[in-house]
Structure formats: C-alpha cells, structure tokens
Amino acid sequence: MSRYTRESAAEPKVTEEIAGAHPDGRRITRWTFGFPEGVTVEVLSLGARLQAVHVPDREGMRANVVLCSDEVPDLFGEAAYFGATVGRYANRIAHGMLPLGDRVHRLAIQPTGHTLHGGPDGFATRLWDGALVRAGRQVGVRLRLHSPDGDQGFPGAVSAEVTYLLGPDGDLSIDYRAATDAPTVVNLTNHAYFNLAGEGRSSVLDHLLQVNAEQYSPVDRDLIPLGAPAPVAGTPFDLREAREIGGRIAAGHPQLRRAGGGFDHNWVLDGAGLRQVAVLSHPGNGRRIECLTTEPGLQVYTGNHFDGSLTGRYGTPYRAHAGIALETQHFPDSPNHPEYPSTLLNPGEEYRSTTVYRFSAQ
C-alpha cells in the first residue's frame, strides 16, 4: 500500500489567491498546499472549507476526490455545507430547543423546524481569518472565527479555530479548538463529501466502507435520534467488515427509507482517544481513506438527496450518492439526551477535537 513516501523528500508547494467575493464585498481566499505528485489540498476562507483534495491512485493518476463548487452563490445555497467546518453545533438539535442550566434557549431553525449544523447562518456561511502554517514537514492553514453571544440563539461568545495540516505521507489532520465566555455547547465537524473515483465521475455505490462500531442511532422521520442506540448486528448498518455501499443501502431497511434511500445516521464508535474508526476504499483504482478521530460518533451520509440541480467544478451534475460524508462528531441532539456524551463547554475550558483523513492507494 502506497503512503506516498516517495514524496517525503519533496518540498511542499503553497499558494494563496483570491477565489471570489463574499456578498458583502470582502474577498474569499483560497489556500492550496501539498506535495508534487502526492496529495494536495485546497481550503477556502468561506466556511473554513475543504474545497478539494487531489490524490493519486495506484497508477499515480491524480484526481480531486472531494465534491465542490467554485460558484459563490452555490456556497450559500445547495453547496453550503460542501467541505465546510460546520457549527456551532454540527448535526441536529430537535425543534431548536437547547436546555442549558435552568433555562431553555430557542435557536434559529431551518424549514424542517429543527436546528441543523448551527442554524441557517452557521459557521459554514462565515468568512474565517486564515494564515498558512508549518509544523515540521507538515504544511497547511489555520483559520479563526469569533461567534458572538446570541449567534443563531446560542448563548456565550465563542472563539473557534480549525487547523488543516498535510504531511508528505498523505495524512490530512484537522484540529479544532474553541473557548467560550459563558456556558454553551460546541460540536464541530468537517462536511466534505468524498468520491474516490474522482469528483463527478460516478456514484459511491461501488465503494467499500468499514466502520468500527457495534451500535448506531435510529432516527425518526425528521432524522432526530429516537433515544438509545441500537445494535448494528443483523442490519445494513453492520459495517464492522468492509461492505459495498450499494449493497448495504439496497437492503430496504425502514431506517434507510426514512433517510431518503441511504445512510444519514450516527454510528457509536468503539474505543476512545485518537484511533482509526472507518476505512473508505475504491477497489477499481485503489484509492483509500482511513479516518481517525477523537470523537465518539461518526455521521455517515450517502448524498441521498442530490438531484442533479447542482453542478460540480468540472461540469458534472451531482445525482444521488455522488459522494459520501464521514462526519466525525458528538451525537445528534445531545443537549436533549443527557445520557449521550456531553457537548457542554464552560468558561475556562477548551474544546479540543482531532480528525485525520489518511489518504493512500493500494
């Protein structure tokens, strides 16, 4: 299996350019960094967004494996979450109701009646301040955002930071930090959609997915967790061994129908600390992603609702299952489930989370 070690002697290449204009007139910056013939990454200041990851296959042929759009209006519309750092609370909070201490805060909601990914004007729509960083042989960008008290209804002013660092062996680490001046909740993730065949070239139904989890979270019709996790054994959610995604989601399970014909569920991950929790691979070209995280959950979404109305960078419409999101995070609706791992952040504490996407070919 190639970890791109042949590039370990190469110096990384780094560029910074204007990628467009925010509706308020401020510039959107794109940083591109990586290693010649190895992995290269593009990050946008809009949404602290992972816009592209160019990865060689087993023959050395490179392709962007992240769904993306270069059109700024799309990044405020259908592509708003593509590759973005989503927050202040990734995933759903039921009915926009946030119980905290002795009161319930009413959050901004989407048309579903719930709060998704921090609300209709969450972190994905914001311009983050960024600067290139180096750490040894790693190169990347660090981005910061200030979220004021009351932002989308969330209490407390929050200072958030996300750092992307790419190493010559193909490891892309994403480190999150946050602090607050009043009790609040924080749950950050990256919302990249991957397609290891290459962006826009096919669906992910022929990809293999393995997830280290014995339980998952069943959901109601609004995709809110029903309560206690359920065993994956005997269901299409059993991915403890690598399985073809198309075969799994064709099983006709009621939970798959509820999510629109595929996965849009949280897996309760085994273990703790930074550990490997999932592997996504493409048998045809050998590309592979190992996902490591410190988080307790993994939301897997198979792009069930793509309908061709959004066109990617190279002109191909995105249809159902054009990509798969592997969102490392705490569980959906945790503030309304005291039995779930807590997302509470208090003054004087630091929110820390790390995810690594390890790209290789075999």
Let me know: does 152 contact 122? Beta carbons within 8 Å: yes
Other Cβ atoms within 10 Å of 102 Cβ, number: 5
Do the beta carbons of residue 120 and residue 86 sit within 8 Å? no
**How far apart are the C-alpha atoms of 349 and 273, rounded to whole Å?**
18
8 A C-beta contact, residue 327 and residue 191: yes
Distance (Å) of CA 264 to CA 77, 93, 215, 237, 328: 20, 15, 14, 11, 13
- Cα distances (angstroms) measured from residue 162 to each of 144, 213, 250: 7, 26, 37
Residue 351: helix, strand or coil by DSSP? strand
- How far apart CA 242 and CA 318 sit, in angstroms, is 25
- Residue 227 phi, psi (nearest 5): 145, -120
- Active-site positions read 191, 327
Residues 176/353, Cβ–Cβ less than 8 Å = yes
Please state, in angstroms and rounded to a whole number, the distance separating the CA atoms of residues 252 and 221: 16
Q: What is the DSSP string of 174-243?
A: EEEEEEESS-EE-B-EE-PEE-TT-TTSS-STT-EEEE-EEEEE-B-TTS-B-SS-EE-TTSTT--SS-E
Q: Which residues of 13-37 are buried (b: 16+ CB within 10 A; e: fewer)?
A: eeeeeebeebeeeeebbbbbbbbee
Residue owning tokens 């401020």: 26
Radius of gyration, alpha carbons of the chain: 19
